[in-house]
Amino acid sequence: MSQVTTKNGSASFEAALEKELSELRAQGLYRKLRVLDGAQEAECVIDGRRVINLSSNNYLGLTTHPRLKKAALEFVQREGVGTGSVRTIAGTNKEHMELERRLAAFKHTEACVVFQSGFTANAGTVSAILGKDDLIISDALNHASIIDGCRLSRAPIKVFAHKNVEEAKQILEENKNHPGKKLLITDGVFSMDGDIGALPELCELARHYDCIMMVDDAHSSGVLGKDGRGSVDHFGLHGKVDIQVGTLSKAFGALGGYVAGSQRMIEYLYHRARPFLFSTSHPPAVVGACLAALDVLEQEPQWIAQLWENTRHFKAELARLGFDTGASETPITPVIAGESRMAMQLSDELFADGVFAQGIGFPTVARDKARVRTIVTATHTREQLDRALASFEKVGKRLGLIS
């Protein structure tokens, strides 16, 4: 089949793009997309090479769990492939409501609203609840979707250094007479370092300074707390966090995001959260898979147990080999390499050796803290993890990262 590509119209636009791309290349930050052939699994074929996959967020292996696949297929048979409408017009099926009820019960909150993604849940919620007369106090390493939501809200943003509770307190003290609403916001687990947010201390500050407390549990959903209820459950802080965001795209194995909290807040978001109002609802297969994921979390505790068992083994071995794994406390373990170029080289040489661990450089992380980020899952076997560790040892020595 022949394919005709037309030349783009604006030469100056193309030249500007080319300039930006060359800068990325010069900094060693230009990346080609890695292409997966087949399912997202612990060992899979990427760019034609069989590799141990340490880069997915598929913490519990649910992307390919038989119960999720079966539910997705049944929902397609019964309801088709798309909903053809946004939630607020004709796109709410009874299963969308059931999923929200199930998630609220799971999170021990009054209510829950499901969004198309964790990204839209964060961005849509922050921008809906705050306006230009309000104030945001945000951790420096919060996720891009929180930052975008903050910007869309037009509220001033005060950033405190990562997990620096004293600085957050100082900002709150300086702004204690601020007339508008105040939002204190943190990730539950930080996506590049794998450390856990200072929730107990921040909740205390929120109570003292009358702030709305919001936690983004994207990397804690299905990972931390009883049956994977998240960081609020992990710390026993039920009732102290106004807004809990979670994702259905990572450990849940499917796609979506949700906000759990009071009935009144969820009703408000139904009326004001723009991605909920203006973007089509989840297709039936996704809803079916998410409902089945909840069943699995509640009935098959072995996956979370295995995830943590694998995490402990992999972390201990990386540390024993002498790698700098930063402040991680969760299945996300960075292997810090220094400059971006070194992190990308580590990633590339691991890949050539059969291990996929994505390199991450500036500006996603600090200039001298470029890394490969590893995420073990419940479905990695001990043999696969040990094979990956042998590869880290070999390549790490070759590059002088360990001796």
Ligand X SMILES: *Cc1c(COP(=O)(O)O)cnc(C)c1O
Closer CB to ligand X, 56 or 191, in the complex: 191
Contact between 122 and ligand X by CB under 6 A: the answer reads yes
192 binds ligand X (CB under 6 A): no
Contact range with ligand X by CB under 6 A, out of 38-46, 161-169, 212-220, 281-289: 212-220
Is 281 among the residues that bind ligand X (CB under 6 A)?
A: no
Is 219 assigned a catalytic role?
Answer: yes
Which one of 197-205, 216-224, 315-323, 361-369 is the stretch in contact with ligand X (CB under 6 A)? Answer: 216-224
Rule CB under 6 A: say whether 216 interacts with ligand X.
Answer: yes
In 164-193, which positions are buried (b, 16+ CB within 10 angstroms) versus exposed (e)?
ebebbbebbeebeeeeebbbbbbbbbbbbb
Question: Which of 87, 102, 107, 219 contacts ligand X by CB under 6 A?
Answer: 219
On the 0-12 / 13-18 / 19+ scale of CB atoms within 10 A, 235 is buried
In sequence order, the 6+-apart residues with CB closer than 8 A to the CB of 6 are: none
φ/ψ region of 228 (left if φ > 0, alpha if ψ in -120 to 50, else beta) reads left
Candidate list 55, 127, 145, 191, residue with the active-site label:
191
Cβ at position 50, least distance to ligand X in Å: 26
The interface with ligand X within residues 228-247 (CB under 6 A) comprises 247
Give the separation between CA 312 and CA 330, rounded to whole angstroms: 9
Q: What is the sign of the dihedral through the CA atoms of 200, 305, 301 and 186?
A: positive
Residues 143-162 that bind ligand X (CB under 6 A): 143, 145
Known catalytic residue at 138: no
Which region among 29-37, 48-56, 116-124, 382-390 touches ligand X (by CB under 6 A)?
Answer: 116-124
CB of 191 to ligand X, least distance (A): 4
What is each CA distance from 388 to 323, 350, 376, 380, in whole angstroms? 14, 9, 11, 10
257 binds ligand X (CB under 6 A): yes
Q: Which amino acid is at 171?
A: I
- Contact (Cβ atoms closer than 8 angstroms) between residue 256 and residue 116: yes
Question: Beta-carbon neighbour count of residue 315 at 10 Å?
Answer: 20
- Residue 207 has a CB neighbour count (10 Å cut-off) of 11
Q: And the tokens for 68?
A: 């999720």
Shortest reach from residue 126's CB to ligand X, in Å: 12
Minimum distance from CB of 401 to ligand X (Å)?
A: 26
How many residues bind ligand X (CB under 6 A)? The answer is 14
Q: Which of 65, 250, 282, 380 is catalytic?
A: 250
Neighbours of 25 (CB within 10 A): 9
| 250 labelled catalytic | yes
What is the Cα–Cα distance from 122 to 228, expressed in whole angstroms?
20
**Closest CB to ligand X among residues 218, 243:** 218
Write down the catalytic residue from 65, 143, 163, 219.
219
Q: Is 118 in the site for ligand X (CB under 6 A)?
A: yes
The reply on whether position 58 binds ligand X by CB under 6 A is no
Q: Which stretch binds ligand X (CB under 6 A): 111-119, 125-133, 197-205, 370-378?
A: 111-119
CA distance 360 to 58: 18
- Among residues 121 and 237, whose Cβ is nearest to ligand X? 121
Tokens of 48: 């034609």
- Residue 100 lies near ligand X (rule: CB under 6 A): no
Active-site residues, by number, are: 191, 219, 250
**Residues interacting with ligand X, by CB under 6 A?**
117-119, 122, 143, 145, 187, 191, 216, 218-219, 247, 249, 257
